[in-house]
């Protein structure tokens, strides 16, 4: 199909202020600032209480972060939802903000200090925290400006930060309530520890990766007491306090309850029976180091074993002896060498691949470590979070993700919430001179002279309050009354277990059993075009800002949303972004053409409409209904596909081309109005996905102030016109078949060919001029002699292609197609003539074979007619 042009436009041509080409850089920044300054994104909880409320809080990006493809996808989905609801008349609020990102931010500032030859300890806690706030003011939060470039329609007046005073008050309030209810406690437990950041880590801050290691089998005890255990961490054997076997393992029943000698230490340790042990793994016996392994810690608790810490907070051996002072990775081969020297090594396996946890921030291997920490008792909170989904108060979309959610909340361990950092919400607990403990409320002062706990809270603790702390909780604000619970949470499935579950727990607890959102809409990860995870090491990371700069924000958003199937990963490729840019250009050209030819939206639709006009209006309202259903089910990929094909294929490539004929005669006034109607509604449908180009085009076409608050189109079933749709579908098949013939003969799309059209009583006859325009067919003149004849849709198209068609090639093509059609007839007849098949096959299968037979017979008739019409030779 050709790009819309003005070659046929006449009569009502108008001056248009749209440039001949769309340049996103000339439009996007200007429009965004206009939207913000006009307050179009601002919410007012007191405005027209009859309007339904719609609210989303943005998953707060890290203050250290910048926009990446995952953010761009997440924000594009949310913006699409918010913009559509705004157009539907809802009172919408989309709350922006950032997370203080405790570990990441502290690391950034410490690196800055290191350049000056300083450490945080040189400054002291108070001065260091001041330095972090200074960094945040000067360098943090770049992502907020990048969100503007993407087009986020957030209410900037409500920008929040997890460390600002309102959020700090909310943190102190909920900590106090949980503490008083016995749901926060302090205890020695085994936790994830980073020897580089010197802090406990949450599960989400530990990244597991397969690493090549060494599985070593060691002999404990001797003689009848001998038992062999295997480990990848030989250095931790210095802290072993038992050997465990399965209670049903006949090999070791005689040893259960006895003691064996622990090599290199001189200690004797018991052999215990525990069902956790897998008798099929290794030797069926495992060493138990409760202070340095989470599974061993639980075995130790079940059997009242002592817990010996043999590695300090930096991963250095503290056990007295020859290994004291060695780093854990230095101690590992040294311990193996000492065991080998004593003849204790039974077997070494190299390589041995196993999963190893790393600190997400600094990539240091995480060390399981017993430590005195603060915990949330999650049992009742997690049960409430599970019940809210089970009883339907919260819907997870897509539904199949609910099983993963239940697996997590039903088996959740108590949550370690303390971090050994200086940047973050400090634990609001004070200790007295005699060991007393007090947790004052947010408006209370601690006793004079008491000392506050030095730890800070896990970043996820404050983030868990986000859906209600950003609306003013713990105060009973108008925002909280109007916008809580929020309407939907949009986030990646990768943090379903961590952030989502925590928000559910705290929201239900703080808000009297009301969950923080009605729907959890989960999307996948952005991957490259081959489905591979984006990684700097793979060299396939795409910067969305680069795409925005080269192709525009709309093209970037459309590319991401077009791949956003519910819950599925989203592949992207640069050529797809180029295609999205071309789509925006197509809209631009079509709208500009329409405006030049007088398209408008003034007054009602004409009572008298052509079949072509009735067809496009029928299709428009069908598409409105389809897109509504797809967006309601969070199927952004299908919605984008529906809009893309309607806009490009039906509006631009068919309707605009057919409208050119109508614009040249007395049908022009009605067609101008219908053309304006279709583009008006189409641009509104597209606006939530591609906001910038639609705003520029819509305001030019309609002379309206802004599309941002223009009413969302509604489908009118009365516009359905199957007769018009059927006729145009027939016309499309006619044109498509003739175009295929032309292409097969090597004729250029714009090359004109003389043709005689024999309508044979076809309902397409009144559309001859449109057919000729689409096919570049001229009327037969003097000396016309048909060299090819195509019977299509009851119409005979006789073409004079003398000198333009390779007759031999065309005959060969038709004969090949004819042979395939005859084979299809033979296969269908064999099945339909087979009594056994007809007796057993379902009616639907039989009907399908009959349809195939009828179609193949029709193809044979058509192809034989085309062959007979070819000139001899």
Q: How far is CA 291 from the centre of its chain?
A: 39
Which letter does DSSP use for residue 438 in this model? E
Strand 367-376 and strand 415-416: pairing? antiparallel
What is the Cα–Cα distance from 564 to 5, expressed in whole angstroms?
A: 33
**Residue located via tokens 């080269």:** 550
Residues forming beta bridges with residue 261, ordered by sequence position = 268
Buried b (16+ CB within 10 A) or exposed e, 763-773: ebeebbebbbb
What is the Cα–Cα distance from 102 to 824, expressed in whole angstroms?
A: 68
Decide: 772 and 735 in contact? Cβ < 8 Å. no
Phi (first) and psi of residue 228, to 5 degrees? -110, 130
What is the Cα–Cα distance from 446 to 233, expressed in whole angstroms?
A: 45
Decide: 726 and 763 in contact? Cβ < 8 Å. no
Strands of 430-431's sheet in order across:
437-438, 430-431, 451-452
- Beta strand spans in 394-509 (E): 395-397, 415-416, 418-419, 430-431, 437-438, 451-452, 456-457, 486-492
Residue 812, marked binder: no
Rg of the Cα atoms in the chain: 36
| CA separation, residue 406 to residues 336, 375, 400, 411, 510 (Å) | 43, 21, 11, 8, 21
CB atoms within 10 A of CB 345: 18
Q: How far is CA 369 from the centre of its chain?
A: 35
Please state whether the peptide bond connecting residue 474 to the residue before it is cis, i.e. omega within 30 degrees of 0.
Answer: yes
> Of 459, 704, 505, whose CA–CA distance to 600 is shortest?
704
> Of 424, 507, 427, 493, whose CA–CA distance to 464 is shortest?
507
Residues forming beta bridges with residue 492, ordered by sequence position = 523
What is the Cα–Cα distance from 528 to 758, expressed in whole angstroms?
A: 52
H/E run at residue 210: strand 206-220
Q: How far is CA 571 from the centre of its chain?
A: 10
Question: How buried is 412 (Cβ within 10 angstroms: 0-12 exposed, 13-18 middle, 19+ buried)?
Answer: buried
H/E run at residue 683: helix 668-686
Question: How buried is 783 (Cβ within 10 angstroms: 0-12 exposed, 13-18 middle, 19+ buried)?
Answer: exposed
Annotated binding site for ATP: 536
Binding residues: 536
């Amino acid at each position: 199909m050709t790009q819309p042009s003005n070659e046929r436009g006449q009569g009502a041509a108008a001056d248009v202020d749209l440039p001949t080409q769309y340049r996103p850089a000339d439009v996007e920044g200007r429009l965004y600032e206009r939207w913000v300054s006009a307050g179009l994104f601002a919410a007012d909880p007191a405005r027209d209480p009859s309007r339904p409320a719609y609210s989303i809080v943005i998953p707060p990006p890290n203050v250290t972060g910048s926009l990446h493809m995952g953010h761009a996808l997440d924000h594009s989905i949310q913006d699409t939802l918010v913009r559509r609801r705004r157009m539907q008349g809802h009172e919408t609020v989309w709350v922006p903000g950032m997370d203080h990102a405790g570990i990441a931010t502290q690391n950034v500032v410490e690196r800055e200090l290191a350049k000056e030859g300083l450490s945080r300890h040189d400054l002291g806690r108070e001065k260091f925290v001041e330095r972090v706030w200074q960094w945040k003011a000067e360098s943090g939060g770049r992502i907020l400006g990048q969100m503007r470039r993407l087009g986020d329609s957030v209410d900037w007046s409500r920008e929040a930060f997890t460390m600002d005073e309102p959020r700090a008050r909310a943190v102190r309030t909920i900590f106090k309530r949980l503490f008083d209810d016995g749901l926060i406690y302090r205890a020695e437990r085994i936790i994830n520890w980073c020897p580089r950041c010197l802090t406990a880590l949450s599960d989400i801050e530990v990244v597991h990766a397969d690493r090549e290691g060494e599985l070593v089998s060691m002999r404990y005890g001797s003689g009848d007491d001998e038992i062999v255990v295997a480990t990848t961490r030989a250095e931790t054997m210095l802290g072993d306090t038992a050997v465990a076997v399965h209670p049903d393992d006949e090999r070791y029943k005689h040893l259960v309850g006895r003691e064996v000698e622990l090599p290199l230490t001189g200690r004797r340790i018991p052999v215990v029976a525990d069902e956790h042990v897998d008798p099929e793994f290794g030797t069926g016996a495992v060493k138990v180091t409760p202070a340095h392994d989470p599974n061993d810690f639980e075995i130790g608790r079940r059997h009242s074993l002592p817990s010996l810490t043999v590695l300090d907070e930096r991963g250095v051996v503290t056990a007295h002896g020859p290994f004291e002072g060695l780093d854990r990775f230095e101690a590992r081969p040294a311990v193996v060498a000492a065991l080998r020297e004593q003849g204790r090594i039974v077997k070494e396996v190299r390589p041995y691949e196993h999963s190893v946890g790393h600190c997400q921030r600094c990539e240091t291997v995480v060390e399981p470590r017993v430590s005195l920490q603060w915990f949330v008792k999650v049992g009742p909170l997690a049960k409430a979070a599970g019940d809210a989904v089970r009883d339907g108060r919260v819907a997870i979309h897509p539904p199949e993700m609910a099983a993963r959610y239940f697996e997590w909340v039903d088996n959740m361990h108590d949550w370690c919430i303390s971090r050994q950092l200086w940047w973050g919400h400090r634990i609001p607990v004070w200790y007295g001179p005699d060991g007393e403990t007090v947790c004052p409320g947010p408006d209370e002062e601690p006793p004079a002279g008491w000392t506050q706990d030095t730890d800070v809270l896990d970043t996820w603790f404050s983030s868990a309050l986000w859906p209600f702390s950003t609306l003013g909780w713990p105060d009973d604000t108008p925002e909280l009354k109007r916008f809580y619970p929020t309407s939907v949470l949009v986030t990646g499935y990768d943090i379903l277990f961590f952030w989502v579950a925590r928000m559910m727990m705290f929201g239900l607890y703080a808000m009297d059993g009301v969950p923080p959102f009605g729907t959890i809409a989960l999307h996948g990860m952005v991957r490259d075009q081959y489905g591979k995870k984006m990684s700097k090491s793979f060299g396939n990371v795409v910067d969305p800002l680069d795409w925005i700069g080269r192709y525009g924000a709309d093209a970037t958003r459309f590319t991401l949303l077009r791949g956003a199937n519910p819950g599925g990963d989203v592949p992207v490729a640069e050529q797809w972004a180029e295609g999205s840019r071309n789509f925006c250009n197509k809209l631009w050209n079509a709208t500009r053409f329409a405006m030049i030819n007088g398209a408008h939206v003034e007054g009602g639709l004409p009572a008298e409409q052509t079949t072509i006009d009735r067809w496009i209006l029928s299709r428009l309202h069908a598409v409105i209904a389809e897109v509504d259903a797809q967006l309601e089910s969070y199927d952004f990929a299908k919605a984008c596909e529906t809009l893309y094909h309607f806009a490009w294929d039906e509006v631009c490539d068919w309707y605009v081309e057919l409208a050119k004929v109508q614009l040249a005669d007395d049908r022009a006034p009605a067609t101008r109005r219908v053309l304006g109607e279709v583009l008006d509604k189409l641009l509104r449908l597209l606006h939530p996905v591609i906001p910038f180009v639609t705003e520029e085009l819509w305001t030019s076409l309609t002379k309206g102030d802004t599309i941002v608050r223009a009413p969302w189109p509604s489908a009118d079933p009365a516009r359905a016109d199957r007769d018009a749709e059927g006729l145009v579908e027939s016309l499309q098949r006619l044109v498509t078949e003739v175009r295929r013939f032309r292409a097969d003969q090597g004729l250029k799309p714009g090359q004109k060919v003389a043709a005689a059209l024999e309508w044979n009583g076809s309902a397409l006859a009144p559309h001859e001029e449109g057919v000729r325009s689409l096919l570049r067919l001229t009327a037969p003149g003097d000396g016309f002699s048909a060299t090819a004849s195509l019977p299509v849709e009851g119409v005979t198209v006789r073409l004079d292609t003398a000198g333009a068609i390779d007759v031999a090639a065309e005959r060969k093509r038709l004969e090949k197609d004819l042979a395939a059609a005859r084979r299809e007839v033979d296969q269908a007849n064999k099945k339909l003539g087979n009594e056994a098949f007809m007796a057993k096959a379902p009616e639907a299968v039989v009907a399908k074979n009959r349809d195939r037979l009828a179609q193949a017979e029709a193809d044979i008739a058509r192809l034989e007619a085309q062959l007979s019409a070819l000139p001899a030779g």
